[in-house]
Amino acid sequence: MEKMKRILAVIGIAAVLAAACLPMIFAGGTGEGSAGRFIGAAAAAVFIPILVYICMMAVRVFGPGKNRTGQVKNVIFDIGNVLMKFGWEDYLDGYGFPEEKRERLADAIFRNSLWNERDRGSMTEEEYRKAFVAAAPEYEQDVIEIIERSPECIHLFPYSATWLQYLKERGFNTFILSNYSAYMLEHTRKDMAFLKFADGAVFSCEEKMIKPEEDIYRTLLSRYGLKPEECVFIDDRKDNVDTALRLGMKGIVFKGFKEAAAKLEELGVK
């Protein structure tokens, strides 16, 4: 499609130039007024292409859809299971615990509501760890080790940095809005290759608020001067996307890279 557009554009330019030069051909010859006709034709040959170019640029800038209210300009990403894999189940399985112990530890740590609340950063890391231990005191040393090594369950998806880079090259702004604990951020930020292509980022632990609370979305919007109707938010959790929709953004529940890219294209992000 793009190749065909280029071919048609070249043909169109050639046609315009040919049309502009025709008067010069017919203005040739001798006789009374021939010099004046030639000068006029030459001026037309110069100014007609310029006029056509100005009109084309005006259509590109002011044409349909260019200033349409609600056009997506900003793509906002969650991190966990969108840009980086949060593979806690595989990580926990790697310890080889008996099934009963494995489930007990999963409930005490990763399936504990405290795991998400930890992303708020309202307590110190030591206080959070004590609370996790209290949920399975018989496995205190295991709980401590699992949490200390938990950054090992975070892995960068191979498409992440390229995705944001592509969107930047296409003229879109990219942002990060993620629930993330201070401890995990400290140990995995170095692996976030996509951050260099982001125009801004809001991490929950630094704001003392978490998704799906509206305040953290409003923080991102106000800090970077974003209009909700010009934003699309991508998150793997529906409740987080629902908040974005309530605030006037567009939203995509992430289920995979190809599907999300296709939905972005439907919104004009391509």
Partners of residue 201 on adjacent β-strands: 176
3-state helix, strand, coil in the chain (%, to 5): 60, 10, 25
For the stretch 167-219, pLDDT in tens is: 999 999 999 999 999 999 999 999 999 999 999 999 999 999 999 999 999 99
Distance from C-alpha of 143 to C-alpha of 109, rounded to nearest angstrom:
7
Q: What is the pLDDT of residue 6?
A: 53
Distance from C-alpha of 121 to C-alpha of 185, rounded to nearest angstrom:
11
Domain ranges in the chain are 2-62, 74-83+157-266, 88-153
233 membership: H or E segment, kind and range:
strand 231-235
Contact (CB, 8 A) for 100 and 257: no
Distance from C-alpha of 215 to C-alpha of 201, rounded to nearest angstrom:
15
For the stretch 63-109, pLDDT in tens is: 433 444 469 999 999 999 999 999 999 999 999 999 999 999 999 99
Fold of 74-83+157-266: Rossmann fold (3.40.50)
Pairing type for strands 250-253 and 200-203 reads: unpaired
Give the confidence band of 11 by pLDDT, cuts at 50, 70, 90: low
Phi, psi of 123 (to 5 degrees): -125, 170
Distance from C-alpha of 48 to C-alpha of 19, rounded to nearest angstrom:
9
Match 């793997």 to its residue by tokens.
236
Contact (CB, 8 A) for 72 and 231: yes
